[in-house]
Structure 1
């Protein structure tokens, strides 16, 4: 079996907090429109709009804001004042300027891993927003390459790891999403490591591939080091 040479890391909710800001803004959206529908109905319709619009807007804050505005118009029609639309837009701007909050132990763990392995950041989302978050994180210099992609597929992982020693078979992808970080990486031939996060968007849910010999789970990113040592 190939030795581990390269480690791919997801960004949002693997290195730093992200989903919690979507949840807070989602709650704000429901409060602004509570005259038109009950809270859970509004949240359900917003999530349906997000899923429907992924092919148009992709992942990230901008698509989320457009889906909020679309849902607001759907449920309220002409009764939704311009002030509410402006509030939703401002909510998006707040998300885009919110300072980065690293998850516990991330800075130390990334620095340790970078001493022995090639690190690649592979993340979905808005290009400018992800570049901003990486710059604020202070982790940028630890990565040999940064891939900001529209989606995560086996081909994306094969391409991202192809230029590194050992190729995809000598690579590991680590992240909080089974659907995006683990399953397509395994299909490409890499190791897939799930780092569960208490808040994960339902779209990213999937069945853990427990019988796959390259699938692993660690409680948090600081727990990754022993697994990396064993596979290297």
Structure 2
């Protein structure tokens, strides 16, 4: 890692938000743990219930996209599939409360973000690129106090190679000077590399399981940096 160069000012840095700039998935994990305990299934282990929920979430994302409403739908659907009794109004309300608690959390910036992001903004062009529910993501950005560091904000439904190519075309970005920075191999790293961009993988210990993938091999001329913390960006950019 030490042999890598420090990249010159004037790069374009596309930055993910959830679990790159601020904590996000830990709140969903807590809600899921509460849900599984409440379900208290007599035949399925907690791990088996989680596998069912993962599959339900995959279905929900395809049908409804991301966001708290989709997460609530997944919890209710999972409960209906696994419960031996019909879901009552009281149970429905309790399940909804697990997801509602997520929206009540303050935005908790990850270590070093508040200090390093303005430094990066003084040297490079920063564009926030985070998938999800547009209203929810914009609201989180507003509450984070970080919005003024970004020249633009993109909230696509999915972050796939086409989405990255579209952003490059929209802002006339040159791939050899454009980087995607994030914690998700599935949404941040692999599709950006497939679109011809460079990437910076900042691992997060609680990345959503549906975002796990083996990181692709870079092509000639591409860079893939793997950093342990957001603070390390200051030494590379």
TM-score (norm 1): 0.91
Distance 1:182 1:175, change over 3 A: same
Unaligned 5+ residue runs, structure 1?
A: none
CA contact (8 A) 1:176 1:195 kept: yes
| Alignment correspondent of 1:28 | 34
> Counterparts of 1:39 and 1:205 in 2: how far apart (Å)?
20
Given the alignment of the two structures, is residue 96 of structure 1 paired with residue 103 of structure 2, yes or no?
yes
SS at match of 1:146: strand
Deviation for aligned residue 1:165: 6.0
Deviation for aligned residue 1:163: 4.3
Aligned residue pairs, count: 227
1:173-227 Cα offsets, whole Å, 9 max, x none, are: 0000111101111111111110000011222112223554421111111101222
Structural mapping, 1:80-229, within 5 Å: 80-164=87-171, 166-212=173-219, 213-228=222-237
Given the alignment of the two structures, is residue 57 of structure 1 paired with residue 29 of structure 2, yes or no?
no
Unaligned 5+ residue runs, structure 2?
A: 1-6
Distance 1:144 1:101, change over 3 A: same
SS at match of 2:200: strand
| Alignment correspondent of 1:73 | 80
> Counterparts of 2:95 and 2:134 in 1: how far apart (Å)?
21
SS at match of 2:155: strand
1:1-30 Cα offsets, whole Å, 9 max, x none, are: x97521000000000001101110000110
Given the alignment of the two structures, is residue 42 of structure 1 paired with residue 43 of structure 2, yes or no?
no
Report which stretch shifted further, 127-136 or 28-37: 28-37
CA contact (8 A) 1:16 1:103 kept: yes
